[in-house]
Chains A and B, each alone.
Chain A
Amino acid sequence: DTAVSQTPKYLVTQMGNDKSIKCEQNLGHDTMYWYKQDSKKFLKIMFSYNNKELIINETVPNRFSPKSPDKAHLNLHINSLELGDSAVYFCASSRRDGYYEQYFGPGTRLTVT
């Protein structure tokens, strides 16, 4: 009964390639997020979607493009990958009422060589 799932779990690719990470939640939440956790373990918000609408777009290179086909899915596409994109990317989801506690997926470890 996975609540928030991501695929793939590991992604190794070369500089310049384009890759996508997929996220799905079965919690019935309206809001989904992408976070980046760097090598120093700092967790930083990248994007947030509420019912398929972008509501948070932090300062992220426009090589990163999120897409939400429906409120249960949020994908992240990355163009022209760079070495500095190597990190763990977490998807999360929350309700849009209450206290917005967020639940995280297992993460995708991206390594750019």
Chain B
Amino acid sequence: QKEVEQNSGPLSVPEGAIASLNCTYSDRGSQSFFWYRQYSGKSPELIMFIYSNGDKEDGRFTAQLNKASQYVSLLIRDSQPSDSATYLCAASGAGSYQLTFGKGTKLSVIP
């Protein structure tokens, strides 16, 4: 069974610090990986996706993928209180529409 694991948190970081969110996946055939942000009472919002080993940067966000270790991470630089949310990691297989989600990590950025 395909699984995506995340530390549920909460992860607390001071404002301005780097928040590091981690995710591991069980299906070695997984090809694409997604990070969603979900504010309380709202729907998941796509932040980034990554499909190649290495880093992918978008503004304050950097996604990192290591397929050999089956590990994905999201770094948030200069964390802001508005970044406080639950971050969901998801993985999809080759040519597959289906996303398997982790249970999310709750991030709190302390002013």
Contact = CB atoms under 8 A, between A and B. Distances in A.
Interface in B25-81: 32, 34, 36, 38, 42-46, 49, 51
A55 interface: yes
Classify chain A: how many residues form its interface, as a range: 20 to 34
Nearest to A58: B98
B26 to A, nearest CB: 16
Interface in A19-64: 31, 33, 40-45, 48, 50, 55-56
A67 interface: no
B8 to A, nearest CB: 9
Interface of A: 31, 33, 40-45, 48, 50, 55-56, 90, 94, 96, 99-107
Given A40-B103, A101-B49, A107-B42, 17 more contacts: A41-B38, A41-B86, A41-B104, A42-B103, A43-B101, A44-B101, A45-B99, A48-B97, A50-B97, A94-B97, A99-B51, A99-B92, A100-B32, A100-B99, A101-B34, A104-B36, A104-B45
